[in-house]
């Protein structure tokens, strides 16, 4: 057991820190803050390209696909330092952390060489088309149809909650190819360029005021046979593999929770109560709540390291515990942030200046206990797959 | 980071688990609780032979020169089996004597501890003894683990004379019954008879040669907190196993109760809580051996969470068992009783959370 960096890891951490300090400048943050929509994505594509050039974007991927063959521990260092540096949102996570690892495992050689390097460098943005209006948690019941006609698959149906679809280049889409087989044995996964004819993408307004996720309508969308990933009718394994990586990916939120804890302490330190007589940090009730989330943030960070050492690369059902724990904690912490804001003197414009940002982040935190399988679904998985309870 | 056991540590773990499974069976624990068995000694001897009693004793004194992590490995197994042995207090005492004792004091005690010939109790951390205006030692504690059968009692004494708040001396008392009053303190935890209320009556044994500074006192506190936490972790692991097994066997409404989501989700949340506790506990034990500056906070965190999670799991285990859970026939109640004592024997419940709240800024 070694709960500290090895010499090599410490060197690498210093490199990452220095690199981030040099590249995440105040000017960069201001420029980024001023962007919106597609411009924002282009800005982030450039950022992802720089991370890639610095050897940080896909550290533990095989060199053949643009990685550095580094152990998972180094990827964790990258994520820790990105969180500590308040790095911009990782819009490439769906491609980099969910779809690409699945492609490495299940896709053809041709697909690997075609798609992986572009994902790594941030040249292509990817999205995930699983959920449908009538089938969310019960994913295997989905009804979007793909029918093989004259050497092409013709896809019809509707997807929803598709994150970044309106800005993305590709969608990893799950559709039904076999209506005779049991629900989860009749699905196939397709790589669909979102510029394909017949695709209509409509952004949805989220509770946090952003428009990240979309409805997608598919009307006789044609894709070639080589758009299939994995086996025909073998889409379920593709989906399950992606969900495993997705839940592990979401658990890096644990590092963000540690950073959030530091920020909450900072807020409580500098913020006065309404009567101006005390700092929030001196209120026993505030200290109690901060302590409680601080403990859980420590757990989230330690769990990330322990489970990484345990699983030896491939995510298993333990990622459901990480996903459940960190997303629920993230929600609790953001609710606490609003409590802190509420206790402060909001007649003071300075105290108010960060209020709406905390409000937005609070609202955003609700999405994460739903996306990637709801907390209830994670509890089902934990009880069935880790504890072996009957379905 | 490499947050996993090394091969050596894994072997030690296997040894501890099979030793405890062999020498500490539940039937014997129950017989002991009913006052019908004194098998403790056999288990104690086996632990000593495997080198666990001397985990924190140098090899030159007959110990195995391991660390708190390895001692913790034994404690996890002992906690899981509800073992009635005073392993933690004896280990903490061995550590103090090894650090502060003169050569003579070390020779006198350490090899006996390592060989399983004696056991020890400790008081004064928290709440060190003090000297009254006449120089007599004063202090009282309850409940004290192993008070009734310890061969050796260590008393941590605040050194007010030096004017330094962070200076302590440690006194060794051999003739416990003559130097203090020890009153039987009956508790619901029958897996560990021999809790006592101890009051110093003036005489106070012989001080260890060296004095204990603030760091040393913090180390002692961390050993007791993390040691107790890992023992509680062991219990919690067994409790979840018990609840899970029952949930698969017990059929109501034509289905195993483990198919009902109310039960499933309760157990899923338990596992998440347990895994979190596991991370905290091993991190704290590791810190005691390798990062002493982090150990006090890490150990207090582990113990604060153990106090809450181990109790939650033990209590919900009774609920999941229904009526049979309320009988003394099955083991569920033993774990609740043990946890409740674990929560107060090394300091009042809440003391670790209070400590963390006081050191909140350092947690960030
Ligand atoms: C921010 C965000 C981003 C998303 N991004 C994407 C994306 O990029 N691509 C994509 O395909 N999808 C995406 N989703 C969709 C997400 O995966 C689904 O919303 C989720 O799986 C739940 O499905 P649902 O919305 O249909 O809710 P439902 O399945 O209808 O669930 C409603 C409620 O019932 C509960 N419930 C359902 N089944 C059970 C059960 N068996 N046991 C207990 N409780 C149950 C749920 O927990 C929930 O509380 C995103 C969602 C969010 C919020």
Q: How confident is the model at residue B135, as a pLDDT? A: 81
Domain check: are B220 and B315 in the same one?
A: yes
Chain A residues with CB under 8 Å of B9 CB are: 1
Domain check: are B352 and B232 in the same one?
A: yes
Residues of A with a known catalytic role? 246
Residue nearest ligand 1's atom 38 by CA: A137
Task: Provide the CATH number for the domain around residue B178.
Answer: 2.40.110.10
Mutate to test the interface with B, among A302, A324, A336, A381 (most CBs of B within 10 A): A302
Which of B100, B118, B136 terminates a domain? The answer is B118
Q: Are B154 and B93 in contact (CB under 8 A)?
A: yes
Task: Provide the CATH number for the domain around residue B319.
Answer: 1.20.140.10
User: Count of CB atoms within 10 A of residue B331's CB?
Assistant: 16
The pair of structure tokens assigned to A328 is: 């629920």
Which of B210, B244, B276 terminates a domain? The answer is B210
> CB-based burial of residue A267 (10 Å sphere; 0-12 exposed, 13-18 middle, 19+ buried)?
buried
Domain check: are B140 and B92 in the same one?
A: no
Whole-number Å distance, alpha carbon A324 to ligand 1 midpoint, is 14
Domain check: are B289 and B201 in the same one?
A: no
A340-349, B269-278, B342-351 — most confident range: B269-278
Q: What is the mean pLDDT of residues B258-277?
A: 98
Residue of chain A nearest B258, judged by CA positions: A389
Of residues A312 and A21, the one with the higher pLDDT is A21
The CA radius of gyration of chain B, in Å to the nearest whole number, is 20
Q: Are A71 and A60 in contact (CB under 8 A)?
A: yes
Residue B139's alpha-carbon distances to A175, A378, B125, B131, in angstroms, are 74, 51, 11, 9
Whole-number Å distance, alpha carbon A370 to ligand 1 midpoint, is 5
Domain check: are B223 and B337 in the same one?
A: yes
Mutate to test the interface with A, among B265, B294, B309, B364 (most CBs of A within 10 A): B364
Of residues B319 and B163, the one with the higher pLDDT is B319
Q: How confident is the model at residue B163, as a pLDDT? A: 62
Question: Is residue A371 over pLDDT 70?
Answer: yes
Chain A residues with CB under 8 Å of B306 CB are: none
Q: How confident is the model at residue A310, as a pLDDT? A: 76
Which of B118, B150, B171 terminates a domain? The answer is B118
Task: Look at A310 and B357 and tell me if their CB atoms are within 8 Å.
Answer: no
Domain check: are B225 and B358 in the same one?
A: yes
Question: Is residue A251 over pLDDT 90?
Answer: no
Considering only the beta carbons, identify the residue of B1, B3, B256 that sits closest to A390.
B256
Residue nearest ligand 1's atom 7 by CA: A162
Q: What is the mean pLDDT of chain B?
A: 95
Q: Are A106 and A237 in contact (CB under 8 A)?
A: yes
Q: What is the mean pLDDT of residues B51-77?
A: 98
Pairwise CA distance, residues B160 & B155, whole Å: 15
Question: In chain B, what is the straight-line distance between the N-terminal and C-terminal CA atoms, in Å?
Answer: 19
Chain B residues with CB under 8 Å of A4 CB are: 1, 290-291
Task: Look at A389 and B264 and tell me if their CB atoms are within 8 Å.
Answer: yes
Q: How confident is the model at residue B162, as a pLDDT? A: 64
Q: Are A66 and A58 in contact (CB under 8 A)?
A: yes
Residue nearest ligand 1's atom 24 by CA: A136
User: Count of CB atoms within 10 A of residue B49's CB?
Assistant: 12
What is the DSSP pairing of strand B130-131 with strand A170-176? unpaired
Considering only the beta carbons, identify the residue of B2, B280, B356 that sits closest to A309.
B2
pLDDT digits (tens, 9 = 90+) for B185-234: 889 999 998 899 999 987 778 999 999 999 999 999 999 999 999 999 99
Q: State the closest ligand 1 atom to the C-alpha of A206, by its place in the atom list counted from 1.
A: 1
Pairwise CA distance, residues B260 & B251, whole Å: 11
Helices (H) and strands (E) in chain A, counts: 14, 8
Question: Is residue B39 over pLDDT 70?
Answer: no
User: Containing H/E element for A129?
Assistant: strand A126-129
Among A192, A371, A383, which is best to mutate for testing ligand 1, by the most ligand atoms less than 8 A from CB? A371
The pair of structure tokens assigned to A79 is: 């994520």
Pairwise CA distance, residues A81 & B7, whole Å: 30
Task: Look at A303 and B353 and tell me if their CB atoms are within 8 Å.
Answer: no
pLDDT digits (tens, 9 = 90+) for B334-361: 999 999 999 999 989 999 999 999 999 9
Whole-number Å distance, alpha carbon A382 to ligand 1 midpoint, is 17
Considering only the beta carbons, identify the residue of B247, B360, B361 that sits closest to A389.
B247
For the residues of B119-179, what is the DSSP string, one character each? -EEEE-SSS-BEE-TTS-EE-EEEEETTTTT-SEEEEEEE-GGGT-TTEEEEEEES-HHHH
Domain check: are B146 and B195 in the same one?
A: yes
The pair of structure tokens assigned to A1 is: 């057991």
Task: Look at A321 and B275 and tell me if their CB atoms are within 8 Å.
Answer: yes
Mutate to test the interface with A, among B1, B4, B244 (most CBs of A within 10 A): B1
Chain B residues with CB under 8 Å of A310 CB are: 4
Domain check: are B137 and B105 in the same one?
A: no
Question: Could you tell me the domains of chain A?
Answer: 7-90 (1.10.540.10), 126-233 (2.40.110.10), 252-386 (1.20.140.10)
Of residues B40 and A225, the one with the higher pLDDT is A225
Question: Is residue A352 over pLDDT 80?
Answer: yes
Task: Provide the CATH number for the domain around residue B83.
Answer: 1.10.540.10
Identify the band that residue A117 occupies on the pLDDT scale cut at 50, 70 and 90.
Answer: very high
Q: Are B205 and B179 in contact (CB under 8 A)?
A: yes
Residue of chain A nearest B355, judged by CA positions: A291
Question: Is residue B168 over pLDDT 90?
Answer: yes
Domain check: are B326 and B220 in the same one?
A: yes
Identify the band that residue B41 occupies on the pLDDT scale cut at 50, 70 and 90.
Answer: confident
Calculated CA dihedral for residues B336, B338, B340, B342, nearest 10 degrees: -140
Partners of residue B181 on adjacent β-strands: B199
Question: Is residue A134 over pLDDT 90?
Answer: yes
Domain check: are B198 and B89 in the same one?
A: no
Q: How confident is the model at residue B161, as a pLDDT? A: 67
User: Count of CB atoms within 10 A of residue B30's CB?
Assistant: 17
Q: Which domain holds residue B47?
A: 1-118
Give how far the C-alpha of residue B355 lies from the chain's centroid of Cα atoms, to the nearest Å: 19
Structural domain count of chain B: 3
Identify the band that residue B38 occupies on the pLDDT scale cut at 50, 70 and 90.
Answer: low
Domain check: are B346 and B270 in the same one?
A: yes
User: Count of CB atoms within 10 A of residue A200's CB?
Assistant: 12
Question: In chain A, what is the straight-line distance between the N-terminal and C-terminal CA atoms, in Å?
Answer: 36
Question: Is residue A102 over pLDDT 90?
Answer: yes
pTM of the shown model: 0.97
pLDDT digits (tens, 9 = 90+) for A135-160: 999 999 999 999 999 999 999 999 99
Pairwise CA distance, residues A63 & A59, whole Å: 9
Identify the band that residue B166 occupies on the pLDDT scale cut at 50, 70 and 90.
Answer: confident
Give how far the C-alpha of residue B249 lies from the chain's centroid of Cα atoms, to the nearest Å: 33
CA angle A245, A336, A93 (to 5 degrees): 20
Residue nearest ligand 1's atom 48 by CA: A374
Pairwise CA distance, residues A10 & A326, whole Å: 26
- Is the CA virtual torsion A268, A274, A276, A278 positive or negative? negative
Q: What is the mean pLDDT of residues A271-300?
A: 96
Which residues are near ligand 1 (CB < 6 Å)?
A 127-131, 136-137, 161-163, 213, 367, 370-371, 373-374, 376-377, 380
- Is the CA virtual torsion B333, B335, B340, B345 positive or negative? positive
Q: What is the number of CB-based contacts under 8 A between chain A and chain B?
A: 139
Q: What is the mean pLDDT of residues A262-266?
A: 97
Question: Is residue B12 over pLDDT 70?
Answer: yes
Question: Is residue A119 over pLDDT 80?
Answer: yes
Residue of chain B nearest A378, judged by CA positions: B268
Q: What is the mean pLDDT of residues B103-107?
A: 97
Domain check: are B171 and B268 in the same one?
A: no
Return the half-sphere exposure (C-beta side, CA atoms, 13 A cut-off) of residue A154.
7
């Amino acid at each position: 057991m070694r709960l500290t960096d090895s010499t090599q890891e410490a060197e690498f951490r210093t490199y990452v820190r220095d690199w981030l300090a040099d590249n995440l400048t105040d000017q960069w943050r201001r420029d980024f803050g001023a962007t919106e929509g597609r411009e924002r994505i282009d800005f982030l594509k450039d950022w992802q390209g720089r991370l890639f050039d610095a050897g940080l974007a896909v550290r533990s991927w095989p060199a053949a696909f643009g990685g550095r063959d580094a152990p998972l521990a180094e990827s964790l260092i990258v994520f820790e330092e990105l969180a500590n540096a308040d790095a911009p949102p990782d819009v490439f996570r769906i491609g980099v952390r969910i779809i690409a690892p699945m492609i490495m495992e299940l896709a053809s050689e041709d697909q690997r060489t075609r798609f992986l390097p572009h994902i790594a460098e941030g040249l292509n943005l990817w999205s995930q088309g699983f959920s449908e209006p009538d089938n969310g948690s019960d994913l295997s019941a989905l009804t979007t149809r793909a029918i093989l006609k004259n050497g092409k698959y013709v896809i019809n149906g509707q997807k929803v909650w598709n994150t970044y679809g309106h800005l993305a280049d590709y969608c990893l889409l799950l559709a039904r190819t076999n209506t005779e087989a049991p629900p989860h044995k009749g699905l196939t996964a397709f790589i669909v360029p979102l510029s394909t004819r017949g695709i209509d993408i409509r952004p949805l307004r989220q509770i946090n005021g952003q428009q990240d996720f979309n409805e997608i309508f598919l009307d006789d969308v044609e894709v070639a046979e080589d758009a299939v990933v994995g086996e025909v009718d073998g889409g379920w394994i593709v989906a399950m593999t992606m969900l495993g990586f997705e839940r592990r990916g979401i658990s890096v939120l644990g590092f963000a929770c540690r950073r959030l804890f530091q920020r909450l302490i900072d807020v409580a330190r500098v913020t006065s109560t309404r009567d101006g007589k005390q700092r929030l940090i001196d209120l026993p009730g505030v200290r109690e709540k901060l302590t409680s989330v601080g403990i859980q943030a420590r757990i989230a960070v330690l769990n990330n390291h322990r489970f990484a050492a345990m699983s030896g690369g491939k995510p298993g059902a333990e990622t459901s515990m990480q996903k459940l724990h960190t997303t629920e904690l993230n929600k609790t912490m953001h609710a606490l942030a609003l409590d802190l804001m509420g206790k402060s003197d909001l007649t003071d414009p300075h105290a108010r200046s960060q209020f709406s940002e905390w409000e937005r982040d609070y609202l955003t935190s609700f999405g994460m206990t739903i996306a990637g399988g709801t907390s209830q679904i994670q509890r089902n998985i934990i009880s069935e797959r880790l504890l072996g309870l009957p379905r | 980071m490499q947050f996993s056991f090394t091969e050596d540590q894994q072997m030690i773990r296997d040894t501890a688990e099979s030793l405890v499974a062999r020498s500490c069976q539940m039937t014997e624990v129950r017989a002991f609780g009913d006052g019908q068995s004194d098998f403790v000694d056999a288990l104690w001897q086996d632990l000593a032979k495997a080198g666990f009693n001397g985990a924190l004793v140098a090899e030159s004194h007959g110990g195995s020169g391991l660390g708190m992590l390895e001692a913790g490995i034994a404690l996890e197994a002992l906690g899981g089996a509800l073992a009635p042995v005073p392993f933690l207090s004896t280990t903490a005492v061995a550590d103090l004597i090894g650090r502060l004792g003169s050569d003579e004091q070390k020779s006198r005690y350490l090899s006996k501890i390592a060989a399983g010939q004696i056991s020890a109790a400790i008081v004064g951390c928290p709440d060190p003894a003090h000297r009254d205006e006449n120089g007599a030692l004063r202090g009282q504690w309850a409940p004290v683990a192993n008070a009734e059968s310890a061969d050796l009692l260590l008393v941590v004494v605040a050194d007010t004379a030096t004017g330094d708040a962070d200076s302590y001396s440690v006194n060794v008392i051999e003739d416990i019954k003559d130097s203090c009053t020890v009153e039987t303190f009956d508790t619901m935890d029958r897996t560990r008879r021999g809790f006592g209320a101890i009051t110093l009556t003036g005489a106070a044994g012989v001080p260890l040669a060296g004095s204990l500074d603030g760091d040393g006192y913090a180390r002692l506190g961390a050993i007791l907190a993390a040691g107790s936490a890992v023992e509680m972790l062991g219990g919690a692991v067994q409790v979840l196993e018990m609840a899970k097994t029952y949930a698969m066997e017990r059929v109501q409404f034509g289905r195993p109760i483990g198919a009902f989501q109310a039960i499933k989700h309760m157990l899923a949340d338990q596992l998440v809580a347990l895994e979190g506790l596991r991370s905290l506990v091993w991190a704290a034990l590791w810190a005691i051996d390798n990062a002493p500056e982090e150990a006090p906070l890490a150990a207090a965190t582990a113990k604060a969470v153990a106090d809450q999670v181990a109790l939650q799991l033990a209590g919900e285990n009774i609920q999941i068992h229904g009526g049979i859970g309320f009988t003394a026939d099955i083991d569920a109640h033993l774990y609740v009783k043990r946890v409740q004592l674990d929560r107060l024997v090394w300091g009042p419940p809440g003391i670790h959370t209070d400590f963390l709240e006081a050191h909140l800024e350092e947690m960030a």
